[in-house]
């Protein structure tokens, strides 16, 4: 430790210079992280604590009232809350694995291509990701137009099917949002998979060839296990994103019809900024946070148990 | 794999990929092509795959009915400021976490990093109360910018990037009695240019596209960002598909141009930013 060295050579004002020395050694470092730490305290730590307290209050900017667990009690008896949980879980379970599968297959195919084609496919499959959620939602709102002139209805019309009220029917609206997610941008996942595929040593495949391993064996014993960290990353980030799906719901369905697309994030938005019930919204947000953390932990446990290098 | 099988695989791969490229691009094509057809003339939005008559009437309606130029400026200004503050603060902090030793370094870093697990919805309401009621910043640029001045994701990105830089140069500079800030400015920054470029691009795009927070803290029409403005236009003129497509195109176009201009950084940046398993 540097401070010990300072004490070993006593200066004229030993107790004072110890602080000076500490400042000289570490002052810059603390100065460099000062802004993020302050922002963390004000814009993350304080809000988390405050939200926790709010969830036990009938919140009002001027005089809040403590109501114990009433917000939580109300929430758990509210049908719409349970419906929003169900919708969110269906959306997540229905999109994340499918999107990972699509991403993986596309990446695997791109990996077989020459370098210049790889760049072309990476770039064109990434492109929609630079458009905002608002733009994408507005475009899909037009694509799902309920009349026969809507793009999606024209596509199914090619197969002789009648026009569908994609977003206007409670048994199809959530599925329509899922379909939009399947057909959206998979570019960043593809790029991550490609980077990981490029990192698998060629020697492993050569050794497998010597043992006359089949293509499937090579895939299931080499490729897939070695790509697990990437799959885990995509699964965790995918779940976190789809648990918070909001913009498409807000712009395309407003949670309807008949709450068929009300997700937890949309429910929280409504509770907070339509009905201004900040206490209830805070309680709901902690349930969302709990679910996200729970699922992330399970994913880490499940996926990382057999990753070995 | 036999040569025959390899060729078959390549053919299937190429076919699937081309199909998927079409699927991916078609929504954007539909948007652009829809924005050049005047749907107001007919009863419903019935765009042609390739219009017989090109019209800029949807763009005229979008720009005359809205404050779109102001919205674009607001987005540009807010995203640019947030990008600059992130460049400054995230590089300083990333450098400190990667290369400097100080008591509490790892615990502070892990506390910051763990906040990335907290969903935005949890902090949102108190953040809203703080910015609107306590700081009294409703409808200001400051309100939009403040919570994004420096993000943990960017600090993490810069820490990852800077830990790959050689420490020996820093030691040499320290022996030459260069100040810590001098080392940062004269040695670290010049070596970090690719990382800085990636940070700048992704931060700018993310904030240009940001919707929810600007929606909450803006009140007047002239303070909206382009995304918030587009959303309000969608509800105000919900039947004018052509003009909505024109607006959506205007909102996305700057980012699409940016993507084509800086494609290399976009495609490489994703792997730098992701957590290594």
At A29 the pLDDT is 85
Give the DSSP letter string of A181-198. HHTS--HHHHHHHHHHHH
Q: Are A44 and A82 in a shared domain?
A: no
Residue A68 lies in a domain: no
Do A20 and A159 lie in one domain? The reply is no
Claim to verify: residue A167 and residue A270 sit in the same structural domain:
yes
The Cα B229–Cα B240 span in angstroms is: 15
Residue B76's CB: how many other CB atoms inside 10 A? 15
Residue of B nearest to A152 (CA): B27
Q: Residue A242's domain is classified under what CATH number?
A: 1.10.3720.10
Residue A105 shares a structural domain with residue A243 = yes
What was the ipTM of the complex prediction? Answer: 0.88
Judgement on whether residues A90 and A33 belong to the same structural domain of the protein: no
Q: Are residues A82 and A24 in the same domain?
A: no
Nearest CA in chain A to B1: A215
User: Any residues with CB less than 8 A from the CB of A114 and at least 6 apart, and which?
Assistant: none
Enumerate the residues of chain A whose CB falls inside 8 A of the CB of residue B10: 112-113
| Average pLDDT value over all residues in chain B | 87
Pair A80, A223 in one domain:
yes
Q: Is residue A121 part of a domain?
A: yes
Closest C-alpha to A137, from B257, B128, B236, B230: B230
The answer, for A241 touching chain B at a CB cutoff of 8 Å, is: no
Among B18, B25, B27, the residue to mutate for chain A (most A Cβ within 10 A): B27
Q: Rounded to 5 degrees, what are φ and ψ at A147?
A: -80, 170
Query: Taking CB atoms and an 8 Å limit, are B24 and A185 in contact across chains?
Result: yes
| Domain span holding position A244 | 74-304
User: Tokens in use for A137?
Assistant: 């939602």
Integer Cα distance of B14 and A234 in angstroms: 24
Neighbours of A82 (CB within 10 A): 12
Q: Residue B17 in contact with residue A121, Cβ under 8 Å?
A: yes
> Token pair for residue B20?
């998927």
- Whether A256 is covered by a domain: the verdict is yes
Confirm if A193 and A112 have CB atoms less than 8 A apart: no
- What count of residues does chain A have? 309
Question: At A65, is the secondary structure helix, strand, or coil?
Answer: strand
pLDDT tens by residue, A66-120: 888 888 988 898 889 999 999 999 999 999 999 999 999 999 999 988 888 999 9
For the stretch A189-248, pLDDT in tens is 999 999 888 888 888 888 888 888 888 888 888 888 888 888 888 988 899 899 989 999
**Least confident among A218-222, B31-35, B64-68, B259-263:** A218-222
A87 Cα to chain B: minimum distance (Å): 17
Q: Which residues pair with A66 in a beta bridge?
A: A57
CB B95 within 8 A of CB B101: no
Contact assignment for B30 to A145 by CB distance below 8 Å: no
- Radius of gyration for the alpha carbons in chain A, expressed in angstroms and rounded: 26
Same domain membership, residue A101 and residue A237: yes
Residue with tokens 């789809």: A242
Q: Residues of B with CB below 8 A from A123's CB?
A: 263, 267
pLDDT confidence tier of residue A6, bands split at 50, 70 and 90: very low
Tell me the CA end-to-end span of chain B in Å, nearest whole number.
Answer: 30
| Inter-chain touch A124–B14, beta carbons under 8 Å | no
SS (H, E, C) B50-81: CCCCCCCHHHHHHHHHCCHHHHHHHHHHHHHH
Number of domains in chain A: 2
A241 assigned to some structural domain: yes
Using a CB-CB cut-off of 8 Å, the residues of chain A touching B44 are 145, 147, 149
The reply to whether A268 falls in a domain is yes
pLDDT surpasses 90 at B265:
no
Contacts (Cβ under 8 Å, ≥6 apart) of B265: B194, B197, B198, B201
Asked whether residue A82 falls in the same domain as residue A212, the answer is yes
A65 - beta bridge partners?
A58
Q: Let me know if residue A23 belongs to a domain.
A: yes
Angle, alpha carbons B191-B156-A39 (nearest 5°):
115
Mark which residues 156-215 of B lie under 8 Å from A by CB: 179-181, 184, 205, 208-209, 211-212
Q: What is the DSSP letter of A63?
A: -
Residue A228 forms contact with B (CB below 8 Å) = yes
Higher pLDDT pick, B184 / A252 = A252
Residue A122's closest CA among B268, B195, B6? B268
Chain B segment 40-69 residues within 8 A of A by beta carbon are 44-47
Q: Which tokens belong to A254?
A: 């407003």
Query: Is residue A167 domain-shared with residue A276, that is, in the same domain?
Result: yes
CA distance B95 to B89: 10
Shared domain for A146 and A272, answered yes or no, is yes
Beta bridge partners of A57: A66
A274 and A194 within one domain: yes
**C-alpha to C-alpha distance for A61 and B228, rounded to whole angstroms:** 26
Rama region for B42: left / alpha / beta (φ>0; ψ in -120 to 50; rest): beta
Query: For residues A87 and B23, what is the distance between their CA atoms, to the nearest angstrom?
Result: 26
Which chain B residue shows the shortest CA-CA distance from A141?
Answer: B241
**DSSP labels for A26-48?**
HHHHHHHHHHHHHHHIIIIIHHH
Residue A126 lies in a domain: yes
Query: Considering the domain boundaries, does residue A136 fall inside one?
Result: yes
A182 — pLDDT class (breaks 50, 70, 90):
very high
Better-scored residue on pLDDT, A13 or A176: A176
Q: Please write the tens of the pLDDT for every residue from A259-308.
A: 889 999 999 999 989 988 898 999 999 999 999 888 888 888 877 655 54
**Which residue intervals of A244-277 are DSSP H helices?**
247-248, 264-273
Please judge whether A145 and B241 are an interchain contact, meaning their C-beta atoms are less than 8 angstroms apart: yes
Report the distance separating Cα B72 and Cα B242, nearest Å.
Answer: 19
Going by pLDDT thresholds of 50, 70 and 90, the confidence category of residue A4 is very low
Pairing of strands A65-66, A57-58: antiparallel
Does the pLDDT at position B84 exceed 90?
yes
Question: Quick check: A229 and B276 CB within 8 A?
Answer: yes
Nearest-neighbour CA in chain B from A76: distance (Å) = 18
Assess A130–B contact: CB distance below 8 Å, yes or no: yes
Whether A273 has its CB under 8 Å from any CB of chain B: the answer is: yes
Q: Using CA atoms, how far apart are residues A289 and B153, in angstroms rounded to an integer?
A: 19
Measure Cα distances from A210 to A27, A197, A203, A206, A221 in Å.
59, 21, 11, 6, 15
- Which of B124, B93, B101 lies closest to B214, judged by CA? B124
For residues B173 and B137, the answer to whether their CB atoms sit within 8 Å is no
End-to-end CA distance of chain A: 36
Task: Using a CB–CB cutoff of 8 Å, tell me whether B20 touches chain A.
Answer: yes
């Amino acid at each position: 430790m540097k401070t010990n060295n300072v004490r070993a050579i006593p200066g004229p004002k030993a107790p004072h210079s110890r602080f000076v020395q500490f400042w000289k050694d570490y002052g810059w470092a603390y100065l460099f992280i000062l802004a993020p730490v302050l922002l963390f305290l004000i814009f993350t730590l304080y809000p988390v604590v405050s939200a926790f307290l709010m969830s036990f209050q009938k919140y009002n900017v001027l005089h809040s009232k403590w109501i114990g667990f009433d917000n939580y009690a109300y929430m758990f008896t509210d049908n719409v809350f349970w419906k929003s949980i169900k919708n969110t879980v269906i959306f997540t379970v229905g999109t994340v694995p499918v999107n990972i599968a699509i991403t993986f297959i596309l990446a695997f195919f791109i990996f077989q291509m020459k370098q210049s084609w790889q760049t072309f496919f990476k770039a064109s499959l990434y492109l929609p990701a630079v458009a905002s959620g608002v733009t994408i939602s507005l475009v899909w709102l037009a694509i799902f137009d309920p009349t026969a002139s809507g793009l999606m209805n024209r596509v199914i019309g090619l197969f002789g099917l009648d026009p569908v009220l994609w977003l206007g029917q409670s048994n199809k609206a959530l599925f329509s949002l899922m379909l939009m997610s399947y057909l959206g941008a998979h570019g960043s996942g593809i790029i991550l998979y490609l980077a990981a595929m490029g990192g698998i040593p060629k020697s492993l495949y050569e050794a497998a060839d010597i043992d006359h391993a089949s293509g499937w064996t090579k895939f299931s014993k080499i490729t897939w296990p070695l790509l697990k960290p990437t799959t885990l990353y995509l699964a965790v980030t995918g779940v976190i994103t789809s648990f918070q799906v909001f913009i498409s719901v807000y712009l395309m369905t407003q949670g309807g019809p008949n709450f068929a697309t009300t997700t937890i994030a949309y429910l929280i938005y409504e509770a907070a900024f339509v009905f201004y019930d900040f206490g209830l919204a805070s309680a709901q947000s902690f349930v969302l946070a709990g679910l996200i953390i729970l699922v992330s932990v399970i994913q880490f446990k499940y996926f990382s148990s057999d990753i070995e290098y | 794999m036999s040569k025959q099988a390899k060729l078959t695989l390549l053919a299937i791969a190429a076919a699937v990929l081309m199909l998927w490229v079409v699927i991916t691009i078609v929504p954007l094509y539909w948007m652009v092509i829809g924005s050049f057809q005047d749907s107001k003339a007919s009863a419903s939005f019935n765009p042609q795959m390739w219009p017989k008559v090109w019209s800029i009437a949807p763009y005229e309606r979008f720009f005359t009915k809205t404050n779109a130029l102001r919205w674009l400026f607001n987005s540009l200004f807010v995203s640019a400021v947030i990008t600059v503050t992130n460049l400054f603060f995230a590089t300083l902090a990333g450098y400190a976490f990667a290369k400097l030793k100080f008591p509490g370094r790892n615990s502070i870093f892990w506390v910051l990093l763990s906040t990335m697990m907290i969903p935005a919805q949890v902090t949102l309401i108190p953040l809203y109360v703080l910015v609107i009621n306590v700081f009294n910043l409703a409808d200001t640029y400051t309100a939009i910018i403040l919570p994004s001045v420096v993000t943990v994701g960017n600090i993490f990105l810069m820490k990852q990037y800077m830990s790959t830089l050689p420490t020996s140069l820093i030691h040499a500079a320290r022996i030459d009695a260069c100040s810590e800030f001098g080392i940062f400015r004269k040695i670290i920054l010049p070596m970090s240019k690719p990382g800085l470029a990636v940070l700048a691009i992704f931060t700018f795009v993310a904030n240009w596209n940001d919707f929810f927070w600007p929606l909450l803290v803006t009140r007047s029409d002239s303070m909206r960002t382009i995304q918030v403005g587009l959303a309000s236009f969608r509800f105000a003129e919900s039947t004018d598909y052509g003009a909505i497509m024109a607006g959506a195109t205007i909102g996305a176009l700057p980012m699409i141009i940016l993507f084509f201009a800086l494609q290399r950084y976009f495609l490489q940046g994703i792997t730098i930013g992701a957590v290594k398993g």
